[in-house]
Every structure is written in structure tokens, then in C-alpha cells.
Chain A
Amino acid sequence: MLTHLHSKRKLQLGIGLATGILFGFLLQKGGVTSYDVILGQLLLKDFTVLKVMLTAVLVGSVGVHFLVSRGMANLHPKTGSGGQTVIGGLIFGVGFATLGYCPGTLAGAIGQGSLDALFAGMTGILIGAWFFALCYPTVRDKVYPMGSFGNVTFPELLKQDRWKVLAFLAMAIVLVLFAIELAGF
């Protein structure tokens, strides 16, 4: 584990910036910083978003779990619950389709000149995030405890070796991508 590198705060800010530049470059090249492509996905006409995400998950999962098994990285699975993940996720989806960008692709859209993302989208997200900060104590105490499942991962939940789960996931992703291509999308 590169703990020495992880603790260098200023250097990490630089690494974050460099990572973001590469991420933004890739997102723009993939076309997913565009409203038309994102709405095309949600209208089930253009499967670019799904292709990018599933390939990233396929490649990312194998490499990250390899690093973890070699003791070179730690997992950081988020905690969740029905009240948090499902309700929050459903609200997010409505906003996702209405705005036509997600927080990361919004930043990319700003970079490629989409002024609706800059003026309306960014202002909206900042207000929405701030409004959540106002509601947080109530939501945390009253809603988050509903249907809590903690920060469990599928290998832990199913009591299976992580490589078995990864092999199953990889097959499933490849099958879905083949099906998308065969269907002509």
C-alpha cells in the first residue's frame, strides 16, 4: 500500500486534478457529456452510456480486486439502506432525466460549452445539495434506518470467493453487451 503517497495532501490534490482531466477527456470522447446521448440512453434508443459504464465496471472490478488481493488497495464500499439508497436513488433518477447530465458528466458538459449545464444545472445541483444538508439530520435519523444493509459487498453477502463473484459478473456483463450489439444498438 502506498500509504506514504496517500498522506501527501498537496500532491493528492494534484493527482485528483490529473485524474479528473483524464476522466473528463474520456467522458467527452465517449459522447456521454452530451444531453442527447444521456437522454438517448434513458429513452432506450442509444446505449452508449451503458456500454461505457459496463466496460468500465468490467475492467475496473478485475484490476481493483487484484490490487486488493495483493494488499495494494483497500475497498471503500458505501453503507446503504432502503431509506437511503432506494429513495435517494429514485429522486436522483428523476433529476438525472430532467437535467440530462449527472454530476460528473455535467462538469464535462460545461467543459465542452453546454451553457445549460453551466448556468442552470450547476446552480441547481448546488442548491439541491445544500438543501439536503439542511434536511440531513432528520433524514439520517428518520429515513436512513429503514431497511439498512450496511456496507456489505456481494462476496460477503453470498459468502462466496470474490473471484467467483467477479467471474459471474464478467460473464453477465459480456452477455449483456453482446445482446445490446446483436439487437443493433
Chain B
Amino acid sequence: MAFLFEARWSPYLVGVGIGVLCWLTFLLSDKPLGCSAAFARTSGMLESFVRGKKAMERPYFKEFFPVVDWEWMLVLGIVIGAFLSSTMSGVFSPSLVPSLWVSTFGPMAFPRLVVAFNGGILMGFGARWAGGCTSGHGISGTLQLAVSGWIAVACFFVSGVITAFFIY
């Protein structure tokens, strides 16, 4: 079981693992892996916390009801799984600024947090606009041979690459 404590696995091994996990979600839960809708549901829960039932009148929250569902639990599970993995291999360490960022923009936390916050807004907005993210479209959509999944993942990477070269 020593491999469970290694810091990194081959990306191919990880890919096989995620592929097999996809078989299981279709078989056991009749669901593809996906993450971004859980954030939309959570935002609806937060709004109904503040505004009460009026938040539920939004057409979007009638389609994506603000409740804890399978996918919400999946996202929670990802946090736990990554925590277990990083703790077992000893690489868990709280950090505010990623090292690639430090090497170009310096160690100050504030600029990174501002950029990450704005990036998060764009990504949350874009993911819900497109109807999925890197898992929902990029892995689950493409493996189902869905046209929407392949178009979405192409757009994610084309605009992601252009933006990354603009930043660095």
C-alpha cells in the first residue's frame, strides 16, 4: 500500500482511475461527473439565506434547485479526498501564493488574491453559461461523445491558453 503515500502518480494511472470512476457513476448513480452546478446551487442557498423565499423565484434556481444533491456531495468529497491524499504523502501545506506566481509577480498575497477572485467570478459565470466545466463537459461530455462537450473543452483551452500567455 506504499503507493498510497507517494506524492505523485503517473498522469496515465490517474487518468485510468478517473475513467473507471466514470463507469461507476453511470452505473451506480446514473450521473456523469460534474462540479460547477454545485456552486450555482450553493449561491442559491446563500441568496435564500439573505432574501428568503424570493430567491427561489429566479428561473435559474427552479432548474438548479438550491439543495445539497449528489453533485454537491461530490464536490465536498473532492476536498476531503485531496486532503487525505496530500496529508498521507506529507505535501499538505497551507499556502496563499503559488510558486509560479511568486517567480513572476513576487510573494505579495494581495495581488494574487485579487486576480484569483476575479478569475473565479469569470469562471463561475462562464461555467454556468456553458452549462458545465472541465469535468462536466471536459471529461463526462467528451467521453459520452457529446458534441457540446468537445466544443466546450476546445473553447476552454483555446481561451485559457491565450489568457495564460497574456498573463505570463
Contacts and interface: CB of A to CB of B under 8 A. Distances in A.
Interface of A: 1-3, 5-6, 12-36, 39-40, 42-44, 48, 51-61, 63-65, 67-68, 72-80, 84-100, 102-117, 119-134, 136-137, 139-140, 149, 151-155, 157, 162, 165-166, 169, 177
A131 B127 CA distance: 12
Contacts of B167: 97-98
Given A73-B26, A114-B95, A78 B15 contact: no
Pairs A-B, 9 closest by C-beta atoms:
A20-B77, A124-B120, A55-B15, A24-B81, A59-B19, A128-B124, A89-B155, A88-B130, A93-B159
B24 to A, nearest CB: 7
Nearest to A130: B43
Contacts of B36: 103, 125, 129
Contacts of A128: 120-128
B108 interface: no
Interface string B41-65: 0111011000000000011110010
Contact of B8 (A31, A55, A61, A88): A31
Contact of B70 (A16, A39, A88, A119): A16
A75 B25 CA distance: 11
Given A21-B80, A102-B134, 19 more contacts: A20-B76, A22-B17, A22-B77, A29-B14, A35-B100, A51-B12, A63-B19, A67-B23, A89-B126, A89-B130, A93-B160, A99-B115, A99-B123, A104-B135, A111-B86, A113-B95, A126-B46, A129-B36, A149-B148
B116 A124 contact: yes
A43 B42 CA distance: 32
Contacts, number: 533
A17 B15 contact: no
A126 B42 contact: yes
B4 to A, nearest CB: 9
Interface in B117-168: 117-165, 167-168
Contact of B58 (A34, A40, A134): A134
A77 B82 contact: no
A84 B164 CA distance: 23
Interface of B: 6, 8-9, 11-12, 14-33, 35-36, 38-40, 42-44, 46-47, 58-61, 64, 68-86, 89, 91-101, 109, 112-165, 167-168
B85 A84 contact: no
A99 B130 contact: no
Most buried by A among B6, B81, B98, B144: B81
Nearest to B75: A107
A28 B121 CA distance: 24
A111 B91 CA distance: 11
A134 to B, nearest CB: 7
B131 A78 contact: yes
